[in-house]
Amino acid sequence: MIELREITKKYGSVVALDNISLTFEVGKIYGVLGANGSGKSTLLKLIAGLAKPDHGVVTVEGVAVSRRIASAVSYLTEIDFFYPNFTVGQYIDFHASQFADFNRDKAIEMLAFMKLDVRKKVRSLSKGNRGRLKLVLALSRDAPVVLLDEPFSGLDVMVRESIVRSLLSYIDFEKQTVIITTHEIEEIEKILDEVILIKDGKIMAKENVEDLRESSGKSVVGWLKGHHR
């Protein structure tokens, strides 16, 4: 379980997150939604131990988050950060050497599904294929927490739909918590358990997707439009 208790994070005079408290449970997929600059990426960085709160505490499985949390958190950043001379296969080897929970068999299976050639150098990959490689690396870890920051940017619509459908088969719902920030809401809402709306660093709403459909007959997109009026 992940807990954020009374978290405030500032960058200079800019408040990225403003006294927020959230709980993320094991076995669920969460969608964190909001405009650019709303605080979504900062939320993930705090859980990943890549940023420190100015106030409050973040815990993963009861342990306060520090840089060492990387052993329990698989984090896909929105930013492309690759060694361009590495081949796809060398990236698999590198991640296997860095993370004890890296599942090479799962990685090989995902590479085949994503149609990625292990011999290709990263510098020769298109933006879409670099995005696929990032997903393979993040989802091939058997970490308790999987954080995906805009994982579908650069992928065309047809590819996004097939990858979203496949996500479920690469997640261990008995052990993992998955948090996704995304603008591609229509494709991904079918796999989300809960949605969280952030605006200007504040939690505006948190809803169970199934309850949302049953109680109000709304899709996540319809629910979002209601909050933007």
Domain span at residue 15 reads 2-227
H or E stretch at 5: strand 2-11
Mark out the alpha helices in the chain (DSSP H runs).
40-47, 88-98, 104-114, 127-139, 157-167, 185-188, 209-216, 220-227
Q: Rounded to an integer, what distance in angstroms lies between the CA atom of residue 46 and that of residue 42?
A: 6
Q: Is the pLDDT of residue 54 over 90?
A: yes
pLDDT attached to residue 143: 94
pLDDT attached to residue 152: 83
Q: Which residues pair with 29 in a beta bridge?
A: 178
Nearest CA among 42, 4, 13 for reference residue 198:
42
pLDDT attached to residue 80: 76
Residue 28: give its domain's CATH number. Answer: 3.40.50.300
pLDDT attached to residue 229: 53
pLDDT attached to residue 103: 95
pLDDT tens digits for 134-192? 999 999 999 999 999 998 877 777 778 888 888 888 888 889 999 999 877 777 888 89
Q: Rounded to an integer, what distance in angstroms lies between the CA atom of residue 203 and that of residue 40?
A: 10
Looking at the structure of the chain, the number of domains it has is: 1
CA 82, 109, 180, 186 dihedral sign is positive
Cα–Cα–Cα angle for 166, 221, 16, nearest 5°?
Answer: 90
Strands 145-149 and 55-60 turn out to be: unpaired
Q: Rounded to an integer, what distance in angstroms lies between the CA atom of residue 156 and that of residue 186?
A: 14
pLDDT attached to residue 226: 66
Give the residue-averaged pLDDT of 78-95. Answer: 88
Other CB atoms within a 10 A radius of the CB of residue 217 amount to 8
Mean pLDDT of all residues in the chain? 89
The token pair at 118 is: 């292990």
